A and B are shown apart, each in its own frame.
Chain A
Amino acid sequence: MFDIKAPKTKEALAQFNHEFSIFIRLEDCENIADLFNTIRLLQNLARGNKILEALLRMIQSISAFLNKNKAFDRKLTLTTLTAIKEDFDSIIYSASMSDDASIKAYRHSLSLFHDLKHRIALAPYQPLLEELKSAILSLEWEINPDTTHAFSLKVNRLKMKWQSNKLYDSFLNILHALGQYTHKKKASADEEAVVLIRTVYDHLETIVTKPGLTFEQKKSLLLDDIQRYRTFKAKIQPKKTRPAAEKPIAEADIPELKPALSQFSSQTDSASMEVDELVSLSDEQLVAQEIEDKNLKSAPIQPPSKPKTDVMDDLFNPKASPVDDLLDKIHLMNVLGKDKAAAPGMMESQEAGFEEQGMKSYAPGKKDQQPIEEITNRIDDFFDIGSSAAPAKKKTPPAPDRNKIPKGPIGPLVHAVNRASRELNLPNVNEISIKLSQLKTALKKDPNIRIADKPGEFNSLIDAIDSLVNTMIQGMK
């Protein structure tokens, strides 16, 4: 039984009050050992009174902390210590205090003690939380690579510190995911992302800094944030996938647009022209193309052999490449302006130079005519990756059609006849004669060429000559 009227107790309490007041007033706490001795004495005297014993242990613990840790918030520690001492005094000096009042005072002290203990435990993480808060404020101000990077960095630091705390880690996981999203989307990120980041952070800060919260309250905050995150994720999800692509677009769903060149089409009679067919590309063709390309031997890249010249040669040699000419023109356009760069005099002088070098220019036109056999064969051979020295390609005989020039030995002759049909003049008729003699020579050289084997070509020739005769008759009329 703790009897404050007993001389020994009275003396011990007086000693305690004196040393405690000195300890509170003096920053250097030199008499801490004396204070601890007195507290131990009082603890012996109060043995059996659990409230007083607990309060004395709290005072001793906080005093020891205060003595050792100068860096921590001293004002808060002293306030807490003083408040606990007041509760201790109120219990022992108030004779009329009921047991309930004593317990209430004890609970008040215990709450203050736990709060201080929690703050002391949180102290190493407090700057990191502050930094995270600051990073969120920057993110709210502007989303850019710097702010998103800083945010992710702060979240990751806290994740490393709190990886063993599942509750804190769960909040940080949500923040991490939102940080990744804003970093990826940058300025185009949904505005709600930053709002959600702020909300989750506030809840994290609450559960970290307020030790009074029960586990259920903390869990409730976390579950709310998980639900908010899921809702947000569902909201941004449709932007990632393409909803319209699930089913092919019906032509009827595509709005009418004015076709290209509608405003210019009246300048020509193109509407009367025959429409070329569209060459489609099936999935099977695409796969076959890929397989063919993979099977091709990947030839090592060999740079074209250049004659060895020294640097001065390169500098003073005139430019010959068309790329250089084109770059010069673009450069001139950028420097002088588009009008001066396209000065007519430049091109005229250039063309005059062309003629001296034996150059002639031909303007190609869109003529409704088939290429001659040599063009078709040459192009086919060049692009046939299997052929090495451009051998003549075996071709199936074309259908007898007077508009199509057959391939093979008769082709040039048919072409010449067709040309004469379109424009009957002496050079064209002479050409028929030349082609006919060439065909005869070819037949002599290669006895394997037999007209009978190529009825389609022969029929084409007959049709072409028939056409020429008709033209000549029309001309005579």
Chain B
Amino acid sequence: MALVNVKTKEVQVKIVYYGPGRGGKTTNLEYINKKYRERLKTQMVSLKTHDDRTLFFDFLPFDVGKIKGFQIVIQLYTVPGQVKYNETRKVVLGGVDGIVFVADVQLNQRKRNIESLNQLYENLKTHQLDLFKMPLVMQYNKIDLKNQNIPIIPSRIMQKDLNSHLKAPAFEASALKGGNVIPTLKRIVSMTLASIQDELF
């Protein structure tokens, strides 16, 4: 739920990057943080395990400026992708306003993508949220691996596997190289703000 402080005219929007482990959620935030570090004026918070895996979550807040007199603060979060941290994922999803589902296009990750999306639906249900009624953007990450002779899933199959029911906007991306990372972010921020514009602006 977007938090609005009517006294200070500040709107806080929470966007969560969700997806299977090692899919590139943290890499998305790291790219955003690196590219806009001068503009964001905030620091990315990242709690990692000894082998560089996300332990709790990553957090990157930034202020995009005013819209109709309201200061818009976007808070980007990632969830830990490892299977064992599902309870942490549930907690991080609390109060979410928009979701970017970061799927891994490697052929051997196909089932994990589907399982992760199914689990996202279940986890949102614990917060009385419906994935079908949430602002959502699909991101098919690691598309650049096709140039390294690594078998990847064609985007049409990705759409069929993950997006045939949700019908959300989808982006092919390479978080490592920054390909379509910002368009993905712009789209989810835009969708999330649009979803509350009638009540707010």
Contact = CB atoms under 8 A, between A and B. Distances in A.
Interface in B64-104: 64-68, 72, 75, 87-88, 90-92, 94, 97-98
A264 B124 CA distance: 13
B71 to A, nearest CB: 11
Interface string B163-178: 1111111111110011
Contacts of B97: 364
A274 B91 contact: no
19 contacts: A242-B151, A248-B146, A249-B107, A249-B151, A257-B161, A258-B114, A259-B165, A260-B161, A275-B163, A278-B159, A279-B183, A322-B59, A333-B91, A361-B3, A362-B199, A366-B133, A369-B195, A375-B67, A385-B39
A326 interface: yes
A378 interface: yes
Contacts of A323: 45, 59
A361 B96 CA distance: 11
Interface of A: 242, 244-246, 248-249, 251, 254, 257-265, 267-268, 270-271, 273-281, 283, 285-286, 289-290, 293, 296, 299, 301-304, 322-323, 326-327, 329-330, 333, 338, 341, 354, 357-367, 369-372, 374-376, 378-383, 385, 390, 419
A238 to B, nearest CB: 14
Contacts of B56: 326-327, 330
| Complex A-B, nearest 3 residue pairs according to Cβ-Cβ distance, in ascending order | A358-B7, A245-B149, A371-B194
Given A259-B160, A363-B2, 14 more contacts: A254-B110, A261-B117, A261-B118, A261-B165, A277-B169, A280-B155, A296-B35, A359-B6, A360-B3, A363-B1, A364-B196, A366-B195, A371-B194, A375-B193
Contacts of A363: 1-2
Contacts of A333: 87-88, 91
A21 B180 CA distance: 95
Contacts of A370: 194
Contacts of A285: 179-180
Nearest to A423: B198
Contact of B177 (A248, A268, A290): A290
A360 B169 CA distance: 29
B74 to A, nearest CB: 9
A390 B186 CA distance: 15
Contacts of A365: 133-135, 195
Given A251-B157, A260-B117, A304-B43, A367 B162 contact: no
A362 B1 contact: yes
B151 A244 contact: yes
A266 to B, nearest CB: 9
Interface residues of B, number: 102
A366 B168 CA distance: 10
A261 B110 CA distance: 14
B151 A260 contact: no
Contacts of B190: 371, 375-376, 379
Interface of B: 1-8, 12, 35-39, 41-43, 45, 56-57, 59, 61, 64-68, 72, 75, 87-88, 90-92, 94, 97-98, 107, 110-111, 113-114, 117-118, 121, 130-136, 143-144, 146-147, 149-157, 159-174, 177-180, 182-183, 185-186, 189-201
A420 to B, nearest CB: 12
A341 B92 CA distance: 13
B151 A378 contact: no
Given A260-B114, A382-B39, A375 B149 contact: no
Given A267-B132, A281-B172, A378-B64, A364 B160 contact: no
Contacts of A354: 3
B117 A385 contact: no
Contacts of B133: 268, 365-366
- The listed residue with most A CB atoms (<10 A of its CB), out of B6, B153, B197, B200, is B197
A338 B178 contact: no
A60 B88 CA distance: 85
Given A261-B165, A299-B38, A361 B118 contact: no
- The listed residue with most B CB atoms (<10 A of its CB), out of A244, A271, A370, A374, is A374
Contact of B167 (A274, A369, A372): A274
Given A293-B35, A362-B2, A374 B91 contact: no
B149 A279 contact: no
Contacts of A419: 198
A278 B186 contact: no
B179 A245 contact: no
A366 B129 CA distance: 11
B181 to A, nearest CB: 9
B195 A364 contact: yes
Given A259-B164, A304-B41, A390-B65, A378 B1 contact: no
A270 B37 contact: no
A424 to B, nearest CB: 14
Contact of B136 (A264, A326, A366): A366
